[in-house]
Chain A
Amino acid sequence: MEAAEYVAESPAGGPDAVAALLPMVRRIVAARVADATAAEDLVQETLVRVLTASGRVEPGMLEPYAIATARNVVATSWREQDRQRRNQHRVVDLRVPDPPDGELLAAEERSAVAEALTRLSERDRQALLEHEVSGRDTRALATELGSTAGAVAAQLHRARARLRVEYLLARDRVEPPTERCRPVLFALSSGDRRRQREVDAGRHLLECDVCATLSQPLLERAPQRDDEVRIAIGADADVVAARQAARDLAGRLGCFSATDLTLIATAVSEVTRNIVKFAGSGEVVVEVLDHPRKGVQVTARDAGPGIPDVERALQDGYSTYAGLGLGLPGARRLMDEFAIASEVGRGTTVTMTRWCGQR
């Protein structure tokens, strides 16, 4: 008797998760920096920063964080080059010493907070100041405003989220380039997943340099969620990881049969493979839904080449590689709801849902 054996590779840990981001980071940097050596330096710098921060970043948010970091690193290198160009007639290095003067920094922080406060609505500003500065609790505020403590707490939560966004904008002295920026940043700041979906925050971060930069501190403070899993997709093995994560999360709901869980896992496998094959990298988010009843929603997103003809891609037998055309139409049959948004040159987002007790 003979035996052929394979061995499993080491399980994904922090450094592995960061290493998996390498192809995506390379793409982002290469799209902006022509010189290969300079680009590779920036890629390495990005990975080091992401690795350093990985403990502070919610595990599933590592990919958006890496996108934001890569763009920051590239932008900083541009500013640096620009400064060198402007100052190259001088002999001395005029760069601001690092770290900058503490006193100056504190004054800038204060003025940014003050500036941010003026951008809030009167109502939000009053509530925040009463609560944070005068120390009034939510119940006292509720009585005063003729509201409930819960409603006041929600208002304070929103006001704080808005203040964080306005503070970052004021501190960096930037005006958001698009109409969508503020809603996206606010949704990230408040940690409101429904809003993040509505404004398609993940895609906006792939596209908008300003928001990619500003969102970094907002993502770092995001709380851990147990009703959501994000998996950065960059290699074959991530297909298996994504479908197992989906099965685990859906299984925890307790309302899916073993067959339901297999159908969900299979659908996730199909759409995740499409990311690897066509876009190279992206992310898969699995979320628990409560309304109108329990279910799971899977979002598979990439910033790849996009699908020119979505209708055709959803037909059985349509194939763009190796005679394998079952991915999308198959996944659609396995789920209750299925939607694709795709734009050539911008990427593809597949959103699919399976409800408990549907069939």
Chain B
Amino acid sequence: MTGPRLVSILRQGSYLIASIHTALDDTQMTAFQDDLVERIGRDRARGVVIDVAALDVLDSFATRTLRTIGEVARLRGAVTVVVGIQPEVAFAMVALGMDTGSVHTALDLEEGLAFLDRVVGSRRPVTTLRGGAG
């Protein structure tokens, strides 16, 4: 099978940076959840950033899945932060009556990493991911 990447999970020090690149259906979303949870254990991650900036919809299933990831990660000793929720998507989530529950959110990747550094304590290398450090 060839095709565009749907998601990627990268390790950065003791953090995992998971990015969803395109709309996922429920099966793909669940596969992403399972892989990410498995990676948290395998990589002994202390923090997880989930970047959803590419998603134009976060419906009840997707939101619930993000919450599940966050809660499972917490039970395994990692802090999760969801970054990049688009303004329209945030508005729809409010209208839908959904939120991310105990999962933290931040504006973008830099803010998310800064949040993890404060909460978890910096264990990652000093190099930043995309140049322009905040």
Which chain A residues have a beta carbon within 8 Å of chain B's beta carbons? Answer: 1-10, 235-237, 239-240, 243-244, 247, 258-259, 261-263, 265-266, 269-270, 273, 276, 316, 323-324, 326-327, 329-330, 333-334
Contact = CB atoms under 8 A, between A and B. Distances in A.
Interface footprint category on B: 35 or more
Contacts of A276: 26
A273 B26 contact: yes
Contact of B25 (A2, A240, A261): A240
17 contacts: A4-B8, A4-B35, A6-B32, A235-B25, A236-B28, A239-B25, A243-B57, A262-B56, A263-B95, A266-B96, A269-B57, A270-B59, A270-B60, A273-B61, A326-B96, A326-B98, A333-B97
Contacts of B59: 266, 269-270, 273, 330
A7 B97 contact: no
Interface string B1-27: 111111111111000000000111111
B39 A4 contact: yes
B92 interface: yes
B88 A330 contact: no
Contacts of B97: 316, 326, 329-330, 333
Given A6-B31, A7-B1, A240 B88 contact: no
Given A324-B61, A334-B95, A259 B6 contact: no
Given A6-B28, A247-B56, A263-B91, A324 B64 contact: yes
The CB with the most chain B CB atoms within 10 A, among A1, A5, A243, is that of: A5
Contacts of B1: 7, 9
Interface in B77-99: 86-89, 91-92, 95-98
A171 B1 CA distance: 50
A258 B88 contact: yes
B22 A8 contact: yes
B18 to A, nearest CB: 8
Given A236-B28, A333-B96, A334-B95, 18 more contacts: A2-B43, A5-B8, A6-B5, A7-B3, A7-B4, A7-B5, A8-B22, A243-B57, A247-B56, A259-B91, A259-B92, A266-B57, A269-B57, A269-B59, A324-B61, A326-B96, A326-B98, A329-B97
Nearest to A326: B60
B93 to A, nearest CB: 8
Interface of B: 1-12, 22-28, 31-32, 35, 39, 43, 56-61, 64, 86-89, 91-92, 95-98
A236 B10 CA distance: 27
Q: Is the interface of B mostly helix, strand, loop or mixed?
A: mixed
A2 B11 contact: yes
Contacts of A3: 8-10
Given A266-B92, A333-B97, A7 B6 contact: yes
A265 B96 CA distance: 12
Contacts of B8: 3-5
A73 B27 CA distance: 33
A236 B92 contact: no
Contacts of B31: 6
A324 B67 CA distance: 13
Contacts of B43: 2
B12 A1 contact: yes
Contacts of B91: 259, 262-263
A236 B26 CA distance: 6
Given A2-B10, A261-B88, A9 B3 contact: yes
B57 A262 contact: yes
Nearest to A335: B95
Contacts of A266: 57-59, 92, 96
B8 to A, nearest CB: 5
A49 to B, nearest CB: 29
